[in-house]
Chain A
């Protein structure tokens, strides 16, 4: 299992434990940590998060991401990670 440390997202700072089978967006929704999203397919960029620590498997997307940014709908953790909202 992997640990997702959430740093002040939707007013929550907590840790989730996940198997890494679902997208980070799906895991956050499952645990009632709500973030903006829209297309769920990596086209719109509504669900950009900052990856503070750790590694993710990131599927292709149409959005130009800066270093350290991920799309919650396209990324799955492959190690313990820490995420926060984009500055």
Chain B
């Protein structure tokens, strides 16, 4: 397999695996192997929003009144989200697009990555509104050890996959010298790296983001920094869609519904995947300690955030068929967060609410004698 932007080979995408089959040539959506990705793309497009639509002017007044430790929590939290969306705004395109073989999945990856760039733009919108020198906030991101440590963790699987898949696409299988290092590359090891990268992305979007969401929503529960929370709510709505997509990909691979070799790889990698969840959870707990190092805020402290982390890690692991890591963390210690995460809380137009066949008679259209208001009515 070598990459070409438009292969002349006629292939039936219904017979291709999600990744490492023939490269996509015609972007066609008339027939789809996994129509779930088409539905995800349509949903993401229907979610389109721009940060400028949300007024954050009151947040400047609120931010000025925050205690110093609360300012640290708020800004550090935003800086971390900036890092995560910077990674997600480019990496799915670079890592997955050269390997993808289904048009509907290619389209989803492009739509997914684009939506992450809107998130990045919204952080600039928030920071411009609340601080006088936005540049300092951005400059500090690469100078903060706690953020850099986690940047390495979220990008290492991506970088490894990109390095090896680029070598594979140019030179094929074999031992290649990359930056002075001999690297053995074969299709099986690349598929393994792809699987682990998808898990790492799922952890990023389904666990790491939710730590930040909890902090942003905790401020808004106190009726402060509400413009920020409105933006984060839109981001959370997008991320719920993204995490469903990576879960779908992982589950299709695990269940052998796509590439049978991937099912074997998923089985072989299971303990490594569990270790990735465990490691990410611990890193986020360390981050919680850093956030609250100068003191707690009303409604949230390091201990509650750590309990939430254990709970959400369990939820995400169960969604991809793994046993929960923390058997005691069965209930959500931050039940109020669901008010912000449930889609009902995001206003929808009535026509977007589909009434299915489960609905019985909506209203009674019969007119009875007792309806006295209509007694004199005549056509």
The answer on A and B forming one complex is: yes
A21–B206 Cα distance when bound, in Å, is: 27
Asked, given contacts A39-B241, A41-B237, A43-B244, whether A34 binds B358 with beta carbons under 8 Å apart, the answer is no
Complex Cα–Cα for A70 and B356 (A) = 11
Residues from chain A with Cβ under 8 Å of B39 in the complex = 62
Inter-chain CA distance A21–B187, complex, in Å, is 52
Task: Give the distance to chain B from A15, nearest Cβ to Cβ, in Å.
Answer: 20
How far apart sit A36 and B283, CA to CA, in the bound complex (Å)? 25
| Nearest chain A residue, comparing its CB with the CB of B247 | A44
Interface of A, helix, strand, loop or mixed by DSSP: loop
Binding stretch for chain A, among B151-159, B166-174, B269-277, B313-321: B313-321
Contact with B342, one of A26, A51, A57, A75 (Cβ below 8 angstroms): A26
Q: How far is the CA of A13 from the CA of B198 in the complex (A)?
A: 38
Find residues 236-273 in chain B having any chain A CB closer than 8 Å to their own CB: 237, 240-241, 243-244, 247-248
User: Is A60 within 8 A of B244, CB to CB?
Assistant: no
Cβ distance B252 to chain A, nearest Cβ, rounded Å: 12
A41 to B360 alpha-carbon distance, docked (Å): 23
Interface centre among A41, A56, A79 (most CB of B within 10 A): A41
Stretch at the interface among B66-74, B131-139, B177-185, B330-338: B330-338
Known: A29-B338, A34-B331, A73-B342. A78 touches B240 (CB 8 A): no
Task: Classify the secondary structure of B's interface with A.
Answer: helix
B353 at the interface (CB under 8 A from A): yes
In angstroms, Cα B356 to Cα A26, docked, is 20
Residue from the list B241, B247, B316, B360 in contact with A55, Cβ < 8 A: B360
Contact of A32 among B40, B206, B331, B343 (CB under 8 A): B331
Given contacts A29-B332, A55-B358, A73-B342, list 18 more A-B pairs with CB under 8 A. A26-B342, A36-B315, A40-B338, A40-B341, A40-B343, A42-B343, A44-B248, A46-B247, A51-B358, A55-B360, A57-B355, A58-B356, A59-B344, A59-B354, A62-B36, A62-B39, A62-B244, A79-B360
Q: B interface vs A, CB < 8 Å?
A: 36, 39-40, 43, 206, 237, 240-241, 243-244, 247-248, 315-316, 318-319, 330-332, 335, 338, 341-344, 352-356, 358-360
A-B contact pairs, 22 of them (CB 8 A): A22-B344, A29-B332, A29-B335, A36-B315, A38-B206, A38-B244, A38-B247, A38-B315, A38-B316, A39-B240, A40-B338, A40-B341, A41-B241, A41-B244, A41-B343, A42-B343, A43-B241, A44-B244, A59-B344, A59-B354, A60-B354, A62-B43
Q: Which residues of A contact B (CB under 8 A)?
A: 22-23, 26, 29, 32, 34, 36-44, 46, 51, 55-60, 62, 70, 73, 75, 78-79
